[in-house]
């Protein structure tokens, strides 16, 4: 559920696709299990599993919800691709919002990793969050486009091979 793209600091999670196929509850549960396993392997931290699951699990819920809404007006593969695109963009905004709520200045936090230096980081500057959003959202959008295209093709294939999976 986490495939790194070499040219972008972005991982394909295919969580929106999992939400479309598994539904919102099991898609969210799958996101939690994958985050927990990745934390045990050192990708992320065990203390952040809850927030990672909230952000990535929102992709499964949004992917399922949007797919079911768009599916009434367009084909399954187009609605799946668009649903994945929007779900990832919204989860990217959710990630930036959570960083903003913590009142941590991201510019300083990314440069210091020890506890003593980290204690002075809680002086938040709204300008830094805005700059972080300006940097991250184009990357998130590009990754969302790539994942939306992959979801489009995967759902198209599933629709040809076993369409009853998509007819829940």
CB 99 within 8 A of CB 136: no
pLDDT mean values, one per 10 residues, the chain (168 residues): 62 92 96 92 82 94 96 94 97 88 66 51 58 84 94 96 87
End-to-end CA, the chain = 22
75: containing domain: 3-166
Q: Distance (Å, rounded) from C-alpha 121 to C-alpha 108?
A: 6
CATH of the domain at 125: 1.10.1760
pLDDT computed for residue 9 by the predictor: 64
Provide the pLDDT for residue 139.
Answer: 86
pLDDT at res. 130: 78
Number of domains making up the chain? 1
Q: From CA 57, how far away is CA 35, in angstroms rounded? A: 10
3-class state of residue 88 by DSSP: helix
């Amino acid at each position: 559920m986490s495939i790194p793209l070499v040219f972008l600091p972005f991982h394909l999670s295919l969580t929106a696709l999992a939400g479309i196929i598994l539904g919102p509850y099991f898609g969210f549960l799958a996101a939690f299990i994958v985050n927990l396993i990745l934390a045990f392997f050192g990708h992320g931290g065990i203390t952040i599993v809850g927030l990672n699951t909230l952000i990535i699990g929102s992709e499964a819920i949004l992917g399922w919800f949007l797919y079911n809404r768009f599916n009434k007006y367009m084909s399954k593969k187009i609605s799946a691709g668009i649903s994945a695109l929007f779900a990832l963009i919204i989860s990217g905004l959710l990630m930036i919002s959570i960083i903003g709520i913590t009142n941590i200045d991201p510019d300083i936090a990314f440069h210091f990793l020890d506890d003593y230096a980290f204690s002075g980081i809680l002086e938040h500057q709204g300008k830094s969050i805005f700059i972080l959003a300006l940097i991250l959202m184009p990357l998130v959008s590009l990754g969302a486009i790539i994942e939306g295209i992959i979801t489009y093709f995967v759902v198209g294939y599933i629709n040809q091979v076993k369409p009853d999976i998509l007819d829940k």
